[in-house]
Amino acid sequence: MKLSRRDFSMKTIKGVGAMAAMGVLPLSNLACQSQGRKLGVALVGLGSYSTYQLAPALQDTQHCYLAGVVTGTPAKEKEWADKYGIPSANIYNYENFDAIADNKDIDVVYVVLPNAMHADFCIRAAKAGKHVICEKPMAISVKECDDIINACNEAGVKLGVGYRLQSEPYTNEIKRVVREKPFGEVRYVSAEAGYRSRSNPDQWRLDKALAGGGALLNMGVYAIQGSIYGTGQNPISVSAQEFSTDPEYFKDTDESISAQFKFPNGATGNIFTSHSANVNRHYSAFDNGWLELNPANNYGPLSGRLSTGEEIKFPHESQQKLQMDDFALHVLEGAPNKAPGEMGKRDMIICEAIYQSIAEGGRTIDLDLGRMGIVD
């Protein structure tokens, strides 16, 4: 049975009401569910992703809205205030950011800064008592992921990672097919995510101090995720190789990486990510059939097919809208967190293992991810 978002919300509210009536939850919790409150979101960093994806999506979200911004560019303060009607009291810079703690209009801080700045501002947002969405990759090291998770736990705030694909229907259809096994067990998965990056040699993504890595930390995390939800399992080992066709341009960060996974059920997988090739495909092979998305991980519309000849087709919606509404429902109603901090940490463990394998000539690195409890 498929439920609409509205039906799911109503069932959740009724369930909460029943638990409140039984004394399992305080009645104040039920009151919060039925008020229809929208969460105020502040975007930290007004680069292209905030400008062209997140801010427009926040004009259509049902459970949250654009309440504030944080920018280091004074000219953008007036530009965004005029365009979106943001009051001056809700506009911050990087120096006065911590004052956001006193702003009741802002419930959620979405950190959309270069990767090396994620940990600092996520931790500061948590200490300010704000729920946190951290754009992917969660951080540039496993330690920083732990620091973010610990800060949010200590502050009692929710934490999500900006994995937009976790909320869109094509990805969730892959999960359904893998889970329900209409074609039997998964035996092989291939996930590719990359694009050709030659337009701006001064971009921060080519600066390791800001990005922490190259194609792997940018697009490779989507391929890693695809290999996991395309098998329904965390990998148990990985080996990897790095390729460069333009070492002068990519002198500081990885250009292209291929990695091979083994999974607990004996399945194998391959990922490829690149800043020099346009790749955008997912393929899961089963005992008696296959599933393919192509394209698989851009902003959409996506497209898919099954070995039966059936198309995989869903109406196109903004992935960012779905993602932010899902996180808002997690905060407001206790709905599942589609991309918790532990998922971001798991992916960074895999990224570090991939870099380790490359540094050691492609040696197979064992992974122990089952203990994390995140398989999605």
Q: Do 131 and 206 fall into the same domain? A: no
Q: Do 178 and 303 fall into the same domain? A: yes
Instruction: Say what the pTM is.
Output: 0.90
Q: Do 178 and 148 fall into the same domain? A: no
- Closest of 287, 279, 268, 302 to residue 177, by C-alpha: 287
pLDDT in tens, the chain (376 residues): 333 333 333 333 334 333 333 334 433 343 344 357 999 999 999 999 999 999 999 999 999 999 999 999 999 999 999 999 999 999 999 999 999 999 999 999 999 999 999 999 999 999 999 999 999 999 999 999 999 999 999 999 999 999 999 999 999 999 999 999 999 999 999 999 999 998 889 999 999 999 999 999 999 999 999 999 999 999 999 999 999 999 999 999 999 999 999 999 999 999 999 999 999 999 999 999 999 999 999 999 999 999 999 999 999 999 999 999 999 999 999 999 999 999 999 999 999 999 999 999 999 999 999 878 888 8
Q: Do 238 and 346 fall into the same domain? A: yes
Q: Do 174 and 229 fall into the same domain? A: yes
Final residue in a domain of this structure, among 162, 179, 204: 162
Here the tokens at position 368 are 């122990």
Parallel, antiparallel or unpaired: strands 237-243 and 365-366 = antiparallel
In a domain, 59, yes or no: yes
Q: Do 269 and 365 fall into the same domain? A: yes
Tell me if 68 sits within 8 A of 92, measured CB to CB: yes
The partner residues of 42 in beta bridges, in order of sequence, read 68, 109
Q: By residue range, what is the domain housing residue 242?
A: 166-316+340-372
In a domain, 8, yes or no: no
In a domain, 335, yes or no: no
> How many folded domains does the chain comprise?
2
Question: Any idea which residues carry the catalytic annotation?
Answer: 136, 222
Strand ranges, E, within the chain: 39-44, 64-70, 91-92, 108-111, 131-134, 159-161, 186-196, 237-243, 256-262, 268-274, 276-286, 289-293, 304-306, 311-312, 365-366
Q: What is the distance between the alpha carbons of residues 210 and 230, in angstroms, rounded to a whole number?
A: 31
Q: Do 158 and 171 fall into the same domain? A: no
